[in-house]
Amino acid sequence: MALLSRRAFLKTGLATAGAACASQVPLPAAAKPQSDGELATLIDIRKCVGCEACVEACREVNAAKYPEPEKPFPKMYPSRVKVADWSEEDKREVRDRLTPYNWLFIQWATVVVDGEEKEISFPRRCMHCQNPPCADLCPWGAARKLENGITLIDSDICLGGRKCQVVCPWDIPQRQTGVGLYLDLLPSFAGNGVMYKCDRCYNRIAQGELPACIEQCPEEVQTIGPRSEILAEAHRIAREEGAYIYGEKENGGTNTIYLSPVPFDTLNQAIHKGPGKPHFDPVEDQMAHADNMAKAMLIAPFAGIAAGVSRVIKAAKHADEPPEDNHEA
């Protein structure tokens, strides 16, 4: 599918999806159903050689977005509130997990492919969910979704409360203390820095460029394009070459589609999981309750009206005599 090559993506994918937001990212226009405009990435695990060129590329192009915290950190109350500091030289160099300075890392797994034991690698980062709980539940609107399917956290607004990480099914966003808006508010009592994660190079996409990790990968592991086409391609490969898909339905659908040579539960068992090292668990749609309850909110007033009308009618039947003293206030 020509669309999935880099150049073709630049011509078509970006021309449509990118143009819509080129002038305004990160300020998309008001509410509009935009699933059609969402860009998704396909990550073909089978191609990755684990060279970490993508990791380096991400660190290079996004270095300017990294936190430069003020020290010493303000004292925080109560004392259970822990500092999250990745800003020291050695910590900044950490590459084997997600950190505020490492938005993409290479995960490794030893699995059996075609009867042969193999070590495989694959990039991990934010999944860019279609209905991202991190953005839906962010109390300040700092985490938000763009029309082109990117979820990003605005480091000028984020207070670092870590709620996005808690509600993210993959615990993606990572905290750095000592930066951001909370310093100007009540640094000792509310907030704790800023949360960082992959923003899918929104600024590059807005300028018609590819995300750095996609561009720099020598093996063309990742492709990006309109979600429907990425999915069609993923299914074609899965069908014809016997690969497995992750990200299509997970958490109600994400804009990151993984293709694996082994089933994802097998892969999931073979990877190191923990802080900053996301799993490949099956994930239910975390926001399904909100969608269903929003519908109930539409119906609720009618139930109230019906109850009210029946009360009025009943009372009216008894109200054919003139009023007596009404003392109830």
Partner 1 sequence: MKPDAPKQYPTPYIEQKVLKPVYLFLLFMMGLTGFGQMPIFKRYYIADIPGLGWTGKFYVTHYLHYLGAIILFALFAYVIVTYWGLFRRSHALSKAAYVRIFLLAAIVVTGIFRTLKNLPDVVFSPNFTMFNDISHLVFMMLLMVFGIVFSITKSGWLVPRTVRQTARGRRS
Contacting positions for ligand SF4 (CB under 6 A): 48-54, 57-58, 62, 103-104, 106, 121, 123, 125-129, 132-134, 151, 168, 170, 172-173, 197-201, 211-213, 217, 219, 221
Angle at 36 between CA 32 and CA 37, to 5 degrees: 75
Q: Tokens for 48?
A: 């990755």
Stretch that binds partner 1, among 10-18, 57-65, 270-278, 305-313 (CB under 8 A): 305-313
* Contact of residue 50 among partner 1, ligand SF4, none (CB under 5-8 Å per partner type): ligand SF4
Nearer to partner 1, 41 or 254 (CB): 254
x/- letters, 63..92, toward partner 1 (CB under 8 A): ---------------x-xx-----------
Bridge partners, 245 (sequence order): 259
- Is 34 among the residues that bind partner 1 (CB under 8 A)? yes
Dihedral (CA of 301, 306, 312, 318) sign: negative
* Contact of residue 199 among partner 1, ligand SF4, none (CB under 5-8 Å per partner type): ligand SF4
Where are any strands of DSSP class E within 157-198? Answer: 174-176, 194-196
In angstroms, the CA 248 to CA 107 distance is: 20
Backbone angles phi, psi at 152, to 5 degrees: -135, 160
Stretch that binds partner 1, among 27-35, 107-115, 256-264, 268-276 (CB under 8 A): 27-35
In angstroms, the CA 247 to CA 231 distance is: 10
Smallest distance, ligand SF4 to C-beta of residue 215, A: 8
Nearer to ligand SF4, 175 or 200 (CB): 200
In angstroms, the CA 60 to CA 322 distance is: 83
Nearer to partner 1, 107 or 130 (CB): 130
How many C-beta atoms surround the C-beta of residue 36 within 10 A?
A: 11
What is the residue whose two structure tokens read 């310093």?
183
Kindly tell me which residue out of 144, 200, 227, 279 binds partner 1, with binding defined by CB under 8 A: 144
Kindly tell me which residue out of 32, 64, 115, 239 binds partner 1, with binding defined by CB under 8 A: 32
Nearer to ligand SF4, 76 or 267 (CB): 267
Nearer to ligand SF4, 42 or 212 (CB): 212
Kindly tell me which residue out of 125, 145, 175, 197 binds partner 1, with binding defined by CB under 8 A: 145
Kindly tell me which residue out of 7, 23, 27, 114 binds partner 1, with binding defined by CB under 8 A: 27
**98, 198 in Cβ contact below 8 A?**
no
Nearer to ligand SF4, 221 or 243 (CB): 221
**12, 3 in Cβ contact below 8 A?**
yes
In angstroms, the CA 147 to CA 306 distance is: 39
In angstroms, the CA 155 to CA 178 distance is: 12
Task: Give the residue among 192, 190, 151 at the shortest CA–CA distance from 170.
Answer: 151
**104, 214 in Cβ contact below 8 A?**
no
- Give, for 244, the enclosing helix (H) or strand (E): strand 244-246
* Contact of residue 268 among ligand SF4, partner 1, none (CB under 5-8 Å per partner type): none
- Is 141 among the residues that bind partner 1 (CB under 8 A)? yes
Q: Which residues here bind partner 1, judged by CB under 8 A?
A: 26-35, 78, 80-81, 130-131, 136-137, 139-142, 144-147, 154, 157, 161-163, 166-167, 190, 252, 286-287, 289-291, 293-294, 296-297, 300-305, 307-309, 311-312, 315-316, 318-329
